Every structure is written in structure tokens, then in C-alpha cells.
Chains A and B, each alone.
Chain A
Amino acid sequence: MLAITDLHASVGGTPILKGLTLSVGAGEVHAIMGPNGAGKSTLAHVLAGREGYEVTGGTAVFLGQDLLAMAPHERAAAGLFLGFQYPVEIPGVSNLLFLRTALNAQRKLRGEPEVSGAEFLKRVRAEAQALGLDMEMLKRPVNMGFSGGEKKRNEAFQMGILQPRFALLDETDSGLDIDALKVVADSINRFRGPDRGVLLITHYQRLLDHVRPDRVHILAAGRIVESGGPELALRLEAQGYGAIAA
């Protein structure tokens, strides 16, 4: 589904990713763990196409397409969703308007008809209920006045409505209390399926207690230094990055 080969990327001229290779198949959930500064968020931004992240080598193929050649909104329409570590506030634009505009922009690019107001609201109600989000809150401007936990739940909500093929979740678990963590983990578990892929970027084992990954990778100094099954995350939790990345 997503195949990254020997990816090199720089930010402001400083190389961050130095030959990263990683492949996530359909139906799989992978977790990337690693110390601060390893390049985890850089990987997320490079894959989503953020300006200022310069790819200096390697390839990324997503559903048979050259991901790195596409504009950010084209990647979104192709089915790539990035759950932000720090969701952004947009004053004056309601969550629902934002989401509906985005959904229809994606559909337009894919040559699909616009979603009707009724259908959209139906999806919204169902998803909001599953995530314990208040409808009134969703009418407020995007992420304005939301707590850290609410912002993360809102990311999960957007993922639920947009129904991407692949979710790239950048520290979705940070800033969540135990209950909220469970709610967000549930939404990831509902999302996962045979034709979908998930790449979780996380510092901690605790999210993986709720979302069981198929594969765990350790990213250090811009490369995957070790890969394994879920047990790798447990070992990491016990021994720390120092022991493994050394």
C-alpha cells in the first residue's frame, strides 16, 4: 500500500531522514517509535507534502502512485490522511463547514459527486456520537477553544468522516488522558480494515496496549534501525531507546 524506499529529506538544509525504508501493506497497522529528534514528525510531514521539507533522495509509492510528485491536496484525495500532532486552529470557519468543504474537494478531484447535506449530517452524527463529541462543539470554529484532548478527538472525527485509505497518525496519543486515549484508540480500531493501512507515530507503548500493531519499527537518526512484532514495543518500554538504538 505504502512503500518507502531509501528516503532522504532535509529541513532548512539539515538532513533529517537518511535512507529510510519502510513498507506497509493493506490491512496492516504499523507503529514507528523513536527518541526525540529521530525524524518521526519529519517523516509524517514529508509524506503529506508539507512545504519546507525537501526530499533529497529515495521514493514513496502510495497505491501505485508516486506520492512525492503529488501536491498535498492530491495526496489527501488519493486517500492519505495525516492526524496532526498539533491540530491547527482556524478562526471563523466552523468545523463542519471545514470538513464538508474538504470532503467535497477530495470527491471532486476523484471525480465523485458532492456529498449531500443530509448524508453528510448523518455521517457526522454517527461519528460524533462514537467519539463522544458534542454537536455544538463541531459548529464552533476549527479547533478554537478546544482542549488538547478535544483537538485529538477532532482529528479522529475528521478521519472518520473523510474515510481515507491510509492514516498517518503523528503522536495522536500525546495530551490524552486515559479515557480519551481509549476513545481515540477505538476509532483507530474501527478504522482499520482489510483495504486500509495505518502508520502510528508514537513515543509510548500505552497506545499500543489499545491498538495492537502488526509491526513495530524503531526510528533513530533518520533510519529504521530495528523492526519486529508488538513485542519490540514492550522491550523498548522496558529497556529504553538507548539500549536498542546503540
Chain B
Amino acid sequence: MSDGTETLSRNAEAEATLAGLGSYRWGFSSDIEQELAPRGLNEDTVRYISAKKNEPGWMLEWRLAAFRAWLKMESPGWAKLAIPPIDYQDAHYYAAPRKKPALASLDELDPEIRRTYEKLGIPIEEQKVLAGVEGARKVAVDAVFDSVSVATTFREELKKAGVIFLSISEAIREYPDLVRRHIGSVVPVRDNFFACLNSAVFSDGTFVYVPKGVRCPMELSTYFRINAENTGQFERTLIIADEGAYVSYLEGCTAPMRDEHQLHAAVVELIAETDAEIKYSTVQNWYPGDAQGRGGIFNFVTKRALCRGDRSRVSWTQVETGSAITWKYPSCVLAGADSVGEFYSVAVTNNLQQADTGTKMIHLGPRTRSRIISKGISAGRSSNTYRGLVRVGPSAEGARNFTQCDSLLLGDRCAAHTVPYIEVKHPIAQIEHEATTSKVSDDQKFYAMQRGLPEEEAVALIVNGFCREVLQTLPMEFAVEAQKLLGISLEGSVG
């Protein structure tokens, strides 16, 4: 292994100028020294990452097995996406802030990182204030900056409740048995090309364990941010709700402006035991590329939940507005009897963005129920596809599914597609699928404008109304953010 640590220190002024050229509101990059893995991907890279994180031997072996499997796999081609070839050797697979802090408080955080957060409007300060307010709901922020968690708040209070909320690297060291038992149990290493790659090179992520009968005392929130040039981000998240436990997890992201494509291939695994409930909410706003389609994040994510216990429940809510390409199907395997899976999605594409997103509801247990509400909004010359699978296995007597897919078109150069797959192997099951496609009508727009709304606000209001069913499933603080984001994402798409 070469000692290929590079230092990357960039000219903040030039970055600022660059950012000013684009219309991406949060397209900037902060000037922080970074420790990078050598460019390229081979077994040494995997060993480098594992060594950097002081991982136990079993973890390294697991990664290496994944890497060897990945070499034999091919990038999937079935989605309705035009994906340019990705050179997996031309990237750094690990980037960490040079000063790796183990912080007692946010005050010890690298001031440059703090500034970046403030520019992004990530309300760490605000949330600290919120947390101090009597009776206010607390939001714990496990802030992931590039790949390494650099600040964790509210850990003590969570600890009191018995909730484990750590970066996955820490969890591997501190709770190796828990991690080893569950990692890869929902998304197997060889599940798909991108999940397999993630298994080999995942950099960091989040681990949550909520013990039996515990209702997590606050919303858990992680903000992801990609900040190093050419650094693939490979987040790994594992959330376990033990019997009768409840947890709500919020994930939100924005990314700095980049001229080169950035690959993001996360894996999220959720496990709900008997009577447990997990609510997982995402607001995703990665750099979508400019109006000509240059730059932008490639987002190839594998998210899957296992409702293992009877009467367990998992709810996915996603608001996807960013990324040049989105390939993402948060799914539920409904194994426990009477378990429930839900998927609420808003996907917005503008300019040349492409999204192929949806869900898979796999009904295995009897009387399992699932509900899918998908709202796709296409503007510009974008392409927006809903792809969803509802499968009822031979043991899923009395399974029920309801699916509603609505598409909204802005302008006449965008595309919306709905691709439902329905497989029913039990005679006693009830599956419903509804789909609509509509346009923002001139009547609606004029009506709102006549009452005083500027055109873009009028469209944003109408679009928010279209998405209401999904937005109202978000926790309050996210719902407001998501509404604003919808407006911002569609700027320039009218007129």
C-alpha cells in the first residue's frame, strides 16, 4: 500500500466565484484540509479504508469478500436512465477531515466546517436552541461531513433512554456483535452492483439501535454532505428497532456545486422486530447539474426495510429534488404477520435531471399491508419514472396493497413514466393501483396570480398542493423545508 495521502487545499475565493456563476443556491465548497485515499479501487483501497477506521478483522474480510464479488458484477441497465460510463478507478474512496476530532461539543468543531453548515442553513445552532426550549421537540444531529462523523449531539440523553446512536465506524468498534449480526442481513452483499460496491468501500454512516419497548425520545437526524472533489460517497446506515420500539429518523442533504459527476451509492438497512415501528424520512437536494446537464450527483441508493416481527411497521417518506440521476427504491420486506409497509414519495425533476425511483413491497407474512403514494413532478426536459413492485408471496394470505401514482407535468418537453410490477401468488389478496397524469393548468396559475401570487410562487403553491398527501407525513420541521425546496427546485421552469 502506498502512502498516498494527499492534502487538498483549494482556493476558496475561486470556489466562491465559481459558485456564483451557477444558479444552484448552495453550490459552494469549503476550504478544509482533507485526507484522501489514493485514487483508484483495488484490494489495497479496501484495506486502506478498513485500517483508517481501525476495524476488526471480520469487517475487513467482509469488505474484501464484497469487493471480490463486485468485480464480477455489472452495472444494472434496466432502469429508464441514460447513465454515462463511470470510471471507478478515477476516484478517491475515502476522504476525512485532516484533524479528526472526537468532540465534546460543537464548539470544538473545525470553524470552517461550522461555516459550511451555516451557509447551508443547517440549523445545528438553531437546534441546540430548540433543544434548550422547555417542551420543544429535540432533534439530534449526527453530522456527517464528507465521510467521517465530526459532531454528535444529544448522545447523552439518548444513552439514558438506552438508544445507541453512533456513526457506523464507532458502532463497529463499540458494538461489534450487534453490527455483525445485522449488517448485510437486509441488503445482502451481492444484492446489486451498487450495494456490493458500498459493502466493499463504505466510508461511514449511521447506526441506530432502539432497545425493547423504548420510544426514542427525539427525532434522529443526519445531514449528509459531499464536499471533497471526486470523492465517492458510500454511506452505510443500519437502524434496528427491537420489540415494541419506535424511532423516527430524518435524513437531509445538500451538496456543493461540482463540474464533475459525483457518485453516491448508499445502503440503508432497517430492521423492525415485533410491534416495532420505524419512520424514515429523506429530503434530498444534491446538486442536480446545471441547466445544460453538466455536473450533478449520481445517486444510486439501496434502501430496504425488513419488517421481521409481527405487527411491525416501516414508513419511508422521501422528497427527492436533487441529483442528476436518481436510482432509488426504498423497499419493505413484510415478513411478520400483520406487518405494514408504507412508501410516500415526491420526486421532482427539472432541466435534464433523470429519476427512476419507486419502491418494492414484498408481502411474505399473512395479512400484511402496504401503501404506496408517489407524486412525480417533471419540468424542463427531465425524465421522471415511477417503478414499483408489489409482490404477494404464496404465504401472504389476505395481503393488501394500495398504490397511487400521480404525475404532474410542467411544460411540454418533460416526460413522466409509471412502471408498476404486480406479482400475486396467493388467491386471497387485494391489490389496487391508481395512476393519473396531469398538467398545472393555465386556469389554476392565472387564478392564483390574480389573487396576488407571482408566477413562480403560484406554481410552487399548486405543486405543494399536489404533493400534500406526502408532505404531511413528514415531521413538521422537515415539511416546511421540503415545501421551500419544491419551490426552489422548480425555479426557472415556468414562463
Bound-state Cα–Cα, A82 to B462, Å: 19
Once the chains bind, are B461 and A101 in contact (CB under 8 Å)? yes
Find A48's partner among B442, B444, B450 (CB 8 Å cutoff). B450
Measured between C-beta atoms, what is the minimum distance from B411 to chain A in Å? 14
Measured between C-beta atoms, what is the minimum distance from A169 to chain B in Å? 13
Bound-state Cα–Cα, A12 to B202, Å: 59
Could you say which of A52, A102, A158 has the most chain B C-beta atoms within 10 Å of its C-beta?
A: A102
**Which B residues are in CB contact (< 8 Å) with A141?**
465
**Which B residues are in CB contact (< 8 Å) with A109?**
452
Bound-state Cα–Cα, A93 to B441, Å: 15
B20 interface hit (Cβ, 8 Å): no
Find A98's partner among B461, B467, B469 (CB 8 Å cutoff). B461
Once the chains bind, are B450 and A72 in contact (CB under 8 Å)? yes
Kindly identify, within residues 9 to 47 of chain A, every residue whose CB is under 8 Å from any CB belonging to chain B.
none
Find A102's partner among B441, B453, B466 (CB 8 Å cutoff). B453
Measured between C-beta atoms, what is the minimum distance from B200 to chain A in Å? 43
**Which B residues are in CB contact (< 8 Å) with A91?**
465-466
**Which B residues are in CB contact (< 8 Å) with A48?**
446, 450
Once the chains bind, are B469 and A102 in contact (CB under 8 Å)? no
**Which B residues are in CB contact (< 8 Å) with A99?**
451
B468 interface hit (Cβ, 8 Å): yes
A204 interface hit (Cβ, 8 Å): no
Chain B interface mostly: helix
Measured between C-beta atoms, what is the minimum distance from A74 to chain B in Å? 9
Once the chains bind, are B449 and A72 in contact (CB under 8 Å)? yes
B443 interface hit (Cβ, 8 Å): yes
Find B452's partner among A51, A73, A89 (CB 8 Å cutoff). A73
B175 interface hit (Cβ, 8 Å): no
Find B451's partner among A49, A52, A76 (CB 8 Å cutoff). A76
Bound-state Cα–Cα, A210 to B354, Å: 57
Given contacts A98-B461, A101-B461, contact A90 B452 (CB under 8 A): no
Kindly identify, within residues 89 to 114 of chain A, every residue whose CB is under 8 Å from any CB belonging to chain B.
89-93, 98-99, 101-103, 105-106, 109
Measured between C-beta atoms, what is the minimum distance from B450 to chain A in Å? 5
Could you say which of A72, A84, A99 has the most chain B C-beta atoms within 10 Å of its C-beta?
A: A72
Q: What are the interface flags for A49-91 relative to B under an 8 Å C-beta threshold, 1 for contact and 0 otherwise?
A: 1111000000000000000000111011100011010011111
Given contacts A105-B453, A105-B457, A162-B452, contact A93 B465 (CB under 8 A): yes
Bound-state Cα–Cα, A141 to B472, Å: 14
**Which A residues are in CB contact (< 8 Å) with B444?**
88-90
Measured between C-beta atoms, what is the minimum distance from B67 to chain A in Å? 47
Find B468's partner among A92, A98, A158 (CB 8 Å cutoff). A92
Once the chains bind, are B448 and A98 in contact (CB under 8 Å)? yes
Given contacts A87-B447, A88-B447, A90-B444, contact A73 B455 (CB under 8 A): yes
9 contacting pairs across A/B (C-beta < 8 A):
A73-B449, A73-B455, A76-B449, A90-B444, A90-B447, A90-B462, A92-B468, A105-B452, A105-B454
Q: Residues of A with Cβ closer than 8 Å to B?
A: 48-52, 71-73, 75-77, 81-82, 84, 87-93, 98-99, 101-103, 105-106, 109, 141, 158, 162
